[in-house]
Amino acid sequence: MLIMNRVTKLLKIQYPIIQGAMQEVATADLAASVSNGGGLGIIAAGGKTAEEVREQIKKAQSITDKPFGVNLMLMAKNVPEIVKVIIDEHVPVVTTGAGTPKNYMPDLKAAGIKVIPVIPNVKIAKKMEEMGADAVIAEGMEGGGHIGDTTSIVLWPQIADAINIPLIAAGGIADGRGVVNAFVSGAEGVQCGTIFSIAKESPVGDNWRNAVISANDTSTVVVGKTIRDASRAIKNSMTDHLAELEDRKVSRDEFNDAMNSGLQKAVSQDDASDGVIFSGEVAGLISSSKSAAEIVTDLVSNANKILDNLPKAVTN
């Protein structure tokens, strides 16, 4: 059975289920709904001004009295202002990506905030532990959005063996089997993105939801790898365009501008053809859109059923 462990105690949540920080998608409504369901919801600060982040935090606080977090995209120029807002608004958890939280760690820790970086390999996991991180999120290349180079099933156990702080596994988890795989590999929690991207409380439209639900095991593609910004999304005309930009060896800034514009188009206009629909390979396992609370409870209950039946499967 999935019971209280270091992750649930650290984050003061019921279940060790964390919602991924998906830019433009991880809003206050989604984050608060995940937290109300017993997991940890995350608001994505990427692409937002500090005041927009403050508004999202206050909105989430009006919807839930449970803990939630904010994700910092550390390559953004306004991170110092956002950190100040997070501290001012007493957000209990921060996850980080796209850079090192070194410059912000002292202030966040002094404010009592739990800091959990998203990391792609063992070397960086060790550095984050030395830096004072409370846990790490290890994301395999199967995940959606920005990804690393190593598969989850190989990455998770190596990081679990290398660190003493809790490991939260990400990349390729959308059902109870994925949760069990993560825990067998040494994780004490899981982070899921793709399945929460089409939750009832998500801001995406029906075209985005249908693109994920109708996806199969080969429906995603990785773009941006040669410019050190590998990202996974549903194949469409926009990913073809991004691949063309990559072939032309455009600058990283130009590539990212095109990708971010496509993401905004997918979310705000529900354009499933000329928009970027970030999605993990696990989309092939997703067949319906549910509420955030249902997703959390389904992940836990399905994992527990597998664990309950495991002795029979092994001995039969």
Handedness of CA 280, 182, 74, 78 (dihedral sign): positive
Cα separation, 107 vs 170, whole angstroms: 27
pLDDT tens digits, one per residue of 147-171:
888 899 999 999 999 999 999 999 9
Provide the 10 A C-beta neighbour count for residue 92. 18
H runs (alpha helix) in 248-291: 252-268
pLDDT tens digits, one per residue of 57-85:
999 999 999 999 999 998 888 999 999 99
Q: Is 143's pLDDT higher than 60?
A: yes
pLDDT tens digits, one per residue of 295-305:
999 999 898 88
Strands (E), 199-289: 220-223, 231-234
- How many residues in total does the chain contain? 316
All structural domains of the chain with their residue ranges: 6-200+286-307, 206-268
Instruction: Give me the pLDDT at residue 316, please.
Output: 47
Cα separation, 170 vs 179, whole angstroms: 10
Minimum mean pLDDT range among 14-23, 104-113, 222-231, 304-313: 304-313
Q: Buried b / exposed e across 30-54, counting CB within 10 Å, b at 16+? A: bbbbbbbbbbbbbbbbbebebeebb
Cα separation, 22 vs 31, whole angstroms: 11
What kind and span of H or E run contains 9?
Answer: helix 6-11
Q: Directed axis angle between helix 176-184 and helix 152-162, to 10°?
A: 40
Cα separation, 39 vs 12, whole angstroms: 9
Mean pLDDT of 224-244: 90
CATH number 3.20.20.70 given to 6-200+286-307: yes
Nearest in space to 180 (alpha carbons), one of 32, 310, 36, 12: 310
Cα separation, 38 vs 79, whole angstroms: 29
Cα separation, 146 vs 208, whole angstroms: 18
